[in-house]
């Protein structure tokens, strides 16, 4: 994912996330990028510093107990995200792609949904500017672990 700092013609600043570098230009040309404040589709990229990954030197690693604690914390956070979605969003099963597109186009009521979609359906939604994200996997049940 690529994050851009954006601004509309009214100088409202916001950010946008795109799958590939060229996606902003493509979506902006089709008026699919709009300011969340005023709705203007005249949007431009702002100057921003690059986000660089990897602050550790090569060969440097965490002690095993710290790495395990970080992994456990991340797994707990992902489980909480999944539980929140399952508790508060509508499950739409394998009609996810169709329903997400209908909500995006204003043909269905605005609400949080989750369900299943094929890789091709997700790709089509992303290319059309429909906001989608993968749900974290279900936590492994301790009774199912060897």
The domain tally of the chain equals 2
Q: Is residue 116 part of a domain?
A: yes
- Position 69 scores a pLDDT of 84
- Position 72 scores a pLDDT of 83
Helices (H), ranges, 56-95: 64-88
Domain co-membership, 132 together with 85: yes
* Residue 119 pLDDT greater than 70, yes or no: yes
Mapping DSSP to helix (H, G, I), strand (E, B) and coil, where does residue 135 land? coil
Closest CA to 82 of 130, 139, 126: 139
Q: Is residue 122 part of a domain?
A: yes
- Paired tokens of 40: 């203007």
Q: SS in 3 state form for 86-117? A: HHHCEEEECCHHHHHHHHHCCCCCCCCEEECC
- Position 141 scores a pLDDT of 67
Q: Is residue 115 part of a domain?
A: yes
Least confident of 8-17, 42-51, 98-107: 42-51
* Residue 145 pLDDT greater than 60, yes or no: no
- Position 70 scores a pLDDT of 85
Under the banding of pLDDT at 50, 70 and 90, the label for residue 84 is very high
- Which single residue is written with the structure tokens 């990028």? 33
Domain co-membership, 84 together with 39: no
* Radius of gyration from C-alpha coordinates of the chain: 19
Domain co-membership, 41 together with 88: no
Q: Is residue 102 part of a domain?
A: yes
Q: Domain containing 36: what range?
A: 2-45
* Residue 130 pLDDT greater than 60, yes or no: yes
Q: Is residue 21 part of a domain?
A: yes
Higher pLDDT, 64 or 128: 128
Number of H helices, E strands in the chain: 4, 5
Instruction: List, for residues 14-68, the tens digit of each pLDDT value.
Output: 888 888 888 898 999 998 999 888 889 999 998 776 666 665 555 556 677 777 7
Q: Is residue 142 part of a domain?
A: no
Half-sphere exposure of 27 (CA within 13 A, CB side): 23
Distance CA 110, CA 113 (A): 9
Least confident of 3-7, 60-64, 79-83: 60-64
């Amino acid at each position: 994912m690529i994050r851009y700092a954006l601004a509309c013609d009214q100088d409202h600043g916001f950010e946008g996330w795109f799958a590939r570098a060229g996606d902003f230009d493509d979506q902006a040309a089709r008026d699919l990028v709009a300011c969340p404040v005023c709705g203007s589709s005249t949007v431009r990229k702002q100057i921003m510093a690059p986000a660089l990954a990897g602050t550790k030197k090569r060969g440097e690693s965490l002690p095993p107990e710290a790495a395990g604690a970080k992994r456990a914390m991340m797994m707990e956070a992902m489980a909480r995200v999944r539980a929140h979605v399952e508790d508060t969003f509508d499950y739409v099963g394998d009609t996810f792609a169709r329903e997400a597109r209908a909500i995006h186009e204003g043909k269905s009521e605005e609400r949080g949904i989750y369900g299943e979609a094929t890789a091709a359906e997700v790709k089509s939604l992303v290319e059309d500017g429909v906001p989608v994200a993968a749900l974290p996997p279900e936590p492994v049940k301790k009774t199912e672990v060897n």
